[in-house]
Structure 1
Amino acid sequence: MNRLLRIPGLAALAALLLVVAGCSSPAEVSNEDSAPGVTDTAITIGSHQPLTGPASAGFSHFAPAARAYFDYVNANGGIHGRKIYFNYRDDAYSPDNATQVVRRLVEQDKIFALFSGLGTATHRAVVDYLNAENVPDLFPASGCPCWNNPKKLPYTFALQTDYTREGKILGDHVNKTFPGKKVAYFYQDDDLGRSGVAGLDKVIPRSSVVARESYRPGFNDVSEQMQAIARARADVIVSFSVPSHTVLLRLAQQKSGNTAKLVVNYSGSDPTTLSDLLESAAPHNGTSSGANPLIQGIITDNYLPPLTDTSNKWIQLVSMIHSRYLPAQPLSRYTELGVLTAYLFVQVLQQTGRDLTRQSLVDTLEKGDFPGPGVTPLRYNRTSHAGYTGTQIGVIKGNAIVLQGKPMTTDGADGPVQPHTATSPQPPANGIPRP
């Protein structure tokens, strides 16, 4: 199993080299009163990212992809004549490290905004500080419902479908697809897993749940959890995990001979990342598509268009950025997420206009005019800083996620899970949002 843990380090090294190459900031003096990090020609933003550590597999693709899109926008004139400088730094998926990283970004690098800090526990460690410092905190790469709290966190705006809503939608699918079957939960013991389980419990009857097994981030032996699930004779395992622990669960399941159907949350189920991790742990001859057979048939979900939909204009944009700027990086859902989250950030800047301040950025978001590239709408206004309202079920086939049925929306409380039928908007032909 030790081979499995070396792969994130390789991805992290490549990402770190990108960081070093792109950390320069403009020398001009910004308006420190209303818009730190903004000059006549530049906007400096930053992020904390798990370039190393237990969550680096797959997730380390995100920041280079976002920066690649910013580079593309810069090459095409920037935002109202300003270029975006994106400084992202490694926190190794550690809350203590994230605190140090973010303080450096705010107090030394003088960033205008924090862009998509990745990780629930890591971002929880810095979100209060960012809001106390009046730093716009846009699109944390985490589905914690806690980000949607405009009164306490007026500068924070979520993006990802929150874990509770996701749990409700996954649980609704389990109820309809496996009626009467025994269900086990496997989850990360933090806000990621606990919020997901809260959503599952809103729709799956408690009498159907025969096991609840958690793991701590950084602990790489889940054999005891899998043995407990096997003893409970679960027919379905629903997992809220990061990719490395989805793989550990799958390998433990195979070793035990357990054949329960596996359902995995969005952030823990990227096929490319899972295949790479499994290949490092147990090399195989692959399927006809080159994908690892152990991931085939895993049920998951997606709040963005699938990478296999090459006719989709959003996917064409992602593919163009990937081929032009990141040919050596896998085209994973985290690459897609990086590009499309950066697009949304640029969209907000464009609509805010040339007179850019931290408050004007917040005001623009609270107007709520952001349909976004997701399969369901975003929900921004003065009383809601929630992100996408739903997601769509899919199944891993080959190295892709094939979406099924219709996108589903719900709330974080006890509202119904219901289909979303409106058509998503398309990006402009050049892939850059208009002012």
Structure 2
Amino acid sequence: MTLNSSPGDGITDDAIKVGWIGDLTGPTASAQAFNAHGSQAYFECSNADGGLFGRMWEFFAEDDGYNAEKSAIALTKLIEDEEVIALVDLGGSGQAAQAIPELEATGVPVIGPPQTVDPTLGSGQFFHNIVAYGDQADIFVGEAANRLGDASNAVVMGIVLEVPSGTEYASYVQDSVIAAGGTYVGTEYVGLRVQEATAQILKLQSAIDQYGVNMVALHGAPYHNELVLKAMSAAGITDIPVVGIHGVASNSIFENSPEDVTDDTYGVHSFKTSSSDIEAAAMMTRCANLAGYPGEDLVNNFAHGFVNSYILHRAIEKAAAANNGDVTRASLTKALQGKFDTMGISCDIDWTTSNHSPCGAPFTMDRATGGMVPAGEFSEYAEFLDGVYGIDPVTFEVEIAINSSPDDGITDDAIKVGWIGDLTGPTASAQAFNAHGSQAYFECSNADGGLGGRMWEFFAEDDGYNA
């Protein structure tokens, strides 16, 4: 394989340019910075191993400080000035949503944004590999069923950050809990720049006394989640499970908050760390050390950033193979519409027909290793994912090109298939059904347009059970 230069699409004679936008210094930096470090670590390791197609990765990380205006400026800079081929992150729910028109106009794909709000599910430029808020609410219900015997026994209060994604998450939890037969008593909001959460915990105590709340659904960045957990401990509320979004699956929360609360606190996430027995474990540790981020390979968000860059690497290879070395933003976006392994970090990705590939489980910290670990395997929670969102994820059309080969049963307008068996002899009472099943499938497929613009031709030969 070769890779041809396309400077306007981020591929020069000696570099592949990749962008990242998120909060490195603002109120959610305690979560988003790890995503940037994970991507950077992957690229530095790859460069140390020779890069890709003889080119070095150039990684441009833009800090928006969780400010929508700064995010918009950064996006234009990366697309127009740096001319990046793709983004491996675009943090902040509002920031991601506002970027959709520019991304769609320029054809720049975003791999693995750290949040999955409804607006980005509806854009074909976003390729999601973290559980959406709707999925996280479903997994919350799954954990409620595990804890309480049945999700109908759950009495839930939501405590969420006062941002659009917080409102969305609370709404999903409410809908999922009620659909499972449980009770949702209400939502308390935490301001983005507050320094304590006492008022919200007073409301929680009141709800415990009045309604018997037995689970808390938590949303926010690590800093805000720490405020909530510390306030719960101070109020003596230490025997209620807390299950929250991926922002709760943060090592710092468990390191900085009282153990009497964090020993039963979980955050739903999609990416295993190096403390799990996975193929990528040693590689993540090596790359974290090489990039100057030792120990961050134990963090879920680092793993997310790492696997995003790995997927981009593989997608560029796919696009080059499919287009004689010509990789553009458009051909890369097309190449992303497929399947990718994750070296065990997450479920295998399948973006063949949709831009959303959900996978998740509740994570907590293993104090022996300091790494985040899942409460159960991803497969154990898959049954709770109902695939219902406020907006339908993008559906990709799969294009199938079939060349004619008449001697092999493929003509310009037909695909010829044979069947041989007993339709009239002593075993016809069994074999005829096999023929009917095959015929039925082909007739249904023809009614739906056939395959590759061709109709199936089914030739059933009756041998009467005679050799």
**Aligned pair in 2 of structure 1 residues 250, 136: CA closer, same or farther (>3 Å)?**
same
Displacement of 1:293? 5.4
Note the residue ranges of structure 2 that are not aligned, 5 or more in a row: 390-467
Which amino acid is 1:185 matched to?
Answer: G
Give runs of aligned pairs for residues 168-183 of structure 1, distance below 5 A: 168-178=138-148, 179=150, 180-183=153-156
Provide the aligned C-alpha RMSD in A. Answer: 2.5
Which position in structure 1 is the counterpart of 2:101?
A: 128
Equivalent in the alignment of 1:200: 173
Cross-structure match for 1:219? 194
User: Is 1:253 the equivalent of 2:228?
Assistant: no
Partner of 1:113: 86
Answer whether contact 1:298 1:396 (CA < 8 A) is retained.
no
**What is residue 35 of structure 2 aligned with on the other side?**
62
For 1:346, give the aligned amino acid.
H
Task: Determine the C-alpha separation between the residues in 1 that align with 2:334 and 2:250.
Answer: 38
Partner of 2:281: 315
How far is 1:30 from its partner? 6.4
**Conserved in 2, the CA contact under 8 Å of 1:244 and 1:277?**
no
In structure 2, C-alpha distance between the alignment counterparts of 1:411 and 1:350, rounded to whole Å = 33
8 A contact 1:272–1:330 mirrored in 2? no
Partner AA of 1:235 in structure 2: N
Equivalent of residue 308 in structure 2, options 341, 365, 371? 341
Distance (whole Å) between structure 2 residues aligned to residue 49 and residue 80 of structure 1 = 28
- Which of 16, 41, 44 is matched with 1:43 structurally? 16
Pairwise CA distance, 1:230: 0.9
- Answer yes or no: is 1:157 the counterpart of 2:136: no
Q: Give the equivalent residue in structure 1 for 2:60.
A: 87
Deviation at residue 64 of structure 1 after TM alignment: 2.4
How far apart in 2 are the matches of 1:272 and 1:176? 24
Residue of structure 1 equivalent to 2:361:
392
Q: Which moved more, 1:400-409 or 1:82-91?
A: 400-409
* 1:235 aligned partner: 214
Supply the distance in 1 between the matched residues of 2:69 and 2:155 (Cα, whole angstroms). 39
Q: Identify the residue that residue 185 of structure 1 maps to in structure 2.
A: 158
Cα drift, residue 381 of structure 1: 2.6
Equivalent-residue separation in structure 1 for 2:250 and 2:85 (angstroms): 35
Q: 1:298 aligns with which of 265, 275, 292?
A: 265
How far off is 1:88 after superposition? 0.6
8 Å Cα contact 1:147-1:385 kept in structure 2? no
TM normalised by structure 1 equals 0.77
- 1:108 offset after TM fit, Å? 2.0
TM-score scaled to structure 2, two decimals?
0.72
Residues 181, 170 of structure 1: alpha-carbon distance in 2 compared, 3 angstrom cutoff: closer
SS at match of 2:90: coil
Any unmatched runs of 5+ in structure 1?
A: 1-28, 279-283, 285-291, 415-435
| Distance (Å, rounded) in 2 between the aligned partners of 1:88 and 1:405 | 34
Q: In the comparison of the two structures, how many residue pairs are matched?
A: 365
Distance apart, 1:271 and its partner CA: 4.4
Q: Against the structure 1 CA distance between its residues 75 and 302, is the aligned structure 2 distance closer, same or farther, given a 3 Å change threshold?
A: same
State the distance in 1 between where 2:54 and 2:339 align: 23
| CA-to-aligned-CA distance 1:43-86 (integer Å, 9 cap, x gap) | 11211121111111142122122112112112222222222101
Give the whole-Å Cα distance in 2 for the aligned partners of 1:211 and 1:192: 16
Structure 2 match to 1:273: 252
Match of 1:369 in 2: 339
Query: Is contact 1:392-1:405 (8 Å) kept?
Result: yes
* Structure of greater Rg: 2
**2:284 partner letter:** V
Query: Residues of 1 paired with 2:295 and 2:23: CA distance?
Result: 16
Equivalent pair of 2:160/2:189 in contact (CA under 8 Å): yes
Partner residue, 1:210: 185
Q: Secondary structure at the match of 2:139?
A: helix
Q: Answer whether contact 1:166 1:390 (CA < 8 A) is retained.
A: no
| Distance in 2 (alpha carbons) for counterparts of 1:71 and 1:270 | 26
109 and 329 in structure 1: CA distance in 2 versus 1, 3 angstrom threshold: farther
Alpha carbons of structure 1 residues 75 and 395: separation in structure 2 relative to 1, 3 Å = closer
In 2, Cα distance between equivalents of 1:58 and 1:359 = 31
Partners of 2:365 and 2:92 in 1: CA distance: 24
Per the TM alignment, residue 231 of structure 1 is displaced from its structure 2 partner at its CA by 0.3
* C-alpha distance 374-335 of structure 1, shift in aligned 2 (>3 A): closer
